[in-house]
Amino acid sequence: MGSARMFAPRRTDKNWWQRLLGLNWFIILLILILGGFGVAMQYSVAGGSFEPWARIHLIRLLPTMLLMLVIAATDIRIWFALAYPAWIGGLALLLAVELIGATGMGGQRWLDLGIARLQPSELMKVATILALARYFHGLDFYQSRRLFNLLPPLFLIAVPVLVVIRQPDLGTGLMIFAVGAITIFMAGARSYIFWSGGAVLAITPWVIWPMLRDYQRDRILTFLNPESDPLGAGYQITQSKIALGSGGMSGKGFLQGTQSQLNFLPEMKTDFIFTVVVEEFGMLGGFALLGVCLIILGYGILIGLGCRNQFGRLLSVGLSFTLFMYIFINVGMVMGLLPVVGVPFPLVSYGGSAMITFMIAYGLILSVASHRDVSLAPKGSGLG
């Protein structure tokens, strides 16, 4: 997979099957390995049993992999046309949560579909990047630098962020804001806008602190001083640090982690799955896992930077940054470097909505890779 081959011009009139066969199957194999490793880790946290989490994780993995391949082999002009409808649909699902959503984990964030529960805020991350990429595709570099032209993208970001924070889901809301800001930056917005935004963020904690729920305040206070309540709010991060340290360089071995197997570590299957990985496979195992993720994310960024149309460029880079945020926040919070905000590790943590989001996002990245030489019509002029 040399750089010359990666960015070599390719025909744009291929049919669906040709596009499918032309996908980067090495990256797809790495994604499958990452998901399979997630099945193994769910088997471990259940004490060496496929029930209840490993089996469901595997059942989710196979159809979502198929979904990723279908999205990847679909003409990118279809995703270009569906960008705004996807944002509207995602917002409709978020508003549906407000009306009929299921409650859990301290907030009302899910839609109960009977056979499964869907977290629309996860899908909204992808929908927001789609809409932003579609908008900026219709602007040239100088138009993207005009302050007035930034009002629509700010609206596209602010509305879902406010709805998600209200649920309340502060972590997801901040992720949508962050990836939206990166997309605007990549589109060419002036740097003083980000300096101004940084100044606003500096005073934000004093503004939102009275609006936070008690458990959210506890998470922040625990992050600042976990030893203040080691058996209460600080229990999770304290046990996580013990498990990370006990793994050493090479780990205790699969199914041999004491903190995980003896259930000292809460939320093992979701937020703290990386802690289990390091305890059982050591620092080397943790670095190997992050290395696989780095290859997958690096490919998405390189594809975006090499794309000849603005829509694909912003879509691929924005989605890659979104997936990076999952990993960065998850690893940071289990190490005590960031507050615990409930962000899963992609494909390894247990959770259907996060898995679907990852597969949709990477399917779109692979679609960009297949269509990086396609000329897309400017905003408002159809598919052309």
Return d(Cα 152, Cα 328) in angstroms, integer: 29
Return d(Cα 304, Cα 314) in angstroms, integer: 7
Count of positions (residues) in the chain: 384
Residue 323 CB-half CA count within 13 A: 31
Closest of 164, 126, 78, 162 to residue 322, by C-alpha: 126
Query: What is the model's pTM?
Result: 0.85
Return d(Cα 260, Cα 44) in angstroms, integer: 8
pLDDT, one tens digit per residue, over 212-246 is: 667 667 667 666 666 666 655 567 777 888 888 88
Return d(Cα 304, Cα 337) in angstroms, integer: 30
Look at residue 43 and tell me whether its pLDDT is greater than 70. Answer: yes
pLDDT, one tens digit per residue, over 161-182 is: 988 888 777 788 888 988 898 8
Return d(Cα 320, Cα 316) in angstroms, integer: 6
Return d(Cα 175, Cα 25) in angstroms, integer: 29
- Quick one: pLDDT band at residue 331, thresholds 50, 70, 90? very high
Look at residue 210 and tell me whether its pLDDT is greater than 70. Answer: no
In the chain, where the domains are located: 83-359
Return d(Cα 68, Cα 59) in angstroms, integer: 15
pLDDT, one tens digit per residue, over 82-95 is: 999 999 999 999 98
Percent of the chain with pLDDT over 90: 41
pLDDT of residue 372: 83
Can you tell me whether residue 169 is helix, strand or coil?
A: coil
pLDDT of residue 98: 78
pLDDT of residue 5: 45
